[in-house]
A = this chain, B = another copy of it.
């Protein structure tokens, strides 16, 4: 067997990660990964698990006891919630307005559940009235499933009033917060969310590999009352609860120790910055980015009211060829942005300003690079305008801050 390329160390170049995730990771988090390993049943490791639970409860704004980091990526979090809460024959109302709603409906089906889809055009939200109407029409419904931040379209789903509606109809509320957690408010308790999962490689700015997850007592009760065992042993949350519960600590599987070191440090950084400051930073950088993109003829797909600050999905002007420009950005500038998925392939870009990636310097760098490239591609744009538009936003924000201070 010839092993040519493995003969040398893998030394990846520095990439400015401005796609839909992974985001940039703070050096303190990378450093935490190199701490010496201790056993997954070591008393000190159990302390670390407790720390992570406390920090995750703060991030999710919840008091739910079952708040953990699952040993898989965000998609494993999605599957764990569906596989544990949806039994054969259960009806689940699923909002489908992008890739991740589509995937959730497919997962409900794989568990033998019946997905009742509420479809909305990609780029739109799922209207509360449609949820209300379907809930009334389709009783009994086991769960309502909504994507808070649809990473394929950049849409923010309003959630403030869904929890009460679900409770009124005896349904659980399941929320995908993969892209939102750590970038915009996710209020698990205030909004009455029963199951909420996220990923580490978006606004938490940790490498991918873990899924933060919180479950309400109602959701855990639904698991205890299952008529059939969960198909998954690896993601069986009743068993996993016994490992994370510091009264039992029953061995389930070997936790991804180094990744948990990293997550603890990433959550400490989130905590240290403070919620309001972090959310404001994500909003401001997104506003500046969009002002710059606007001068290049790129418009946000979602309406202003429902636009995500950490994931800007813009439609492309006719003369921009998607793949060619993204390849040039990567090759000449080392900048990664994301293309469109599914029906949006080739017609939109998805630019992520998540966690450590959401910085003024990155916005200005990206806009400068884009200006240069679109001028080369013959678009009639005036060099310097995009960066200037962003700078104006930052300047305005500083003077506003001064005035209000």
Contact = CB atoms under 8 A, between A and B. Distances in A.
Contact of A73 (B74, B78, B254, B265): B254
Interface stretch (A40-48, A133-141, A298-306, A373-381): A40-48
A230 B30 contact: no
Contact of A14 (B1, B36, B110): B36
A31 interface: yes
A255 B208 contact: yes
A119 B258 CA distance: 36
A336 B72 contact: no
A74 B252 CA distance: 12
A234 B79 contact: yes
A12 B46 CA distance: 12
Nearest to A52: B6
Nearest to A251: B341
Contact of A257 (B57, B79, B208, B330): B208
Contacts of A44: 12-13
A268 B258 CA distance: 20
Nearest to A34: B30
Nearest to A256: B209
B232 A110 contact: yes
Interface in A335-382: 336, 341
A268 B9 CA distance: 9
Contact of A37 (B36, B111, B207, B230): B207
A254 B199 contact: yes
A254 B106 CA distance: 18
A117 interface: no
A6 B54 contact: yes
A22 interface: yes
A38 interface: yes
Interface in A38-89: 38-40, 42, 44-45, 47-48, 50-51, 54-55, 57-58, 71-76, 78-79, 83
A12 B33 contact: no
A127 to B, nearest CB: 27
A19 B111 CA distance: 37
A3 B271 contact: yes
A343 B172 CA distance: 40
Contact of A259 (B30, B78, B209, B255): B209
Contact of A103 (B10, B54, B76, B233): B233
A313 interface: no
Q: Which of A22, A47, A230, A254 has the most CB of B within 10 A?
A: A254
B233 A107 contact: yes
A231 B111 contact: yes
Contact of A336 (B25, B42, B330): B42
Interface in A194-209: 199, 201, 207-209
A24 to B, nearest CB: 7
Given A3-B271, A6-B51, 19 more contacts: A1-B57, A1-B58, A6-B268, A10-B265, A11-B35, A12-B35, A12-B38, A15-B39, A22-B257, A24-B37, A37-B207, A39-B336, A76-B234, A79-B234, A83-B232, A110-B232, A110-B233, A111-B231, A209-B259
- Can you list the 10 inter-chain pairs with the closest CB atoms, starting with the nearest? A209-B256, A207-B258, A75-B253, A231-B231, A33-B33, A30-B34, A79-B234, A208-B254, A6-B51, A12-B38
5 contacts: A3-B55, A10-B48, A17-B37, A201-B257, A208-B255
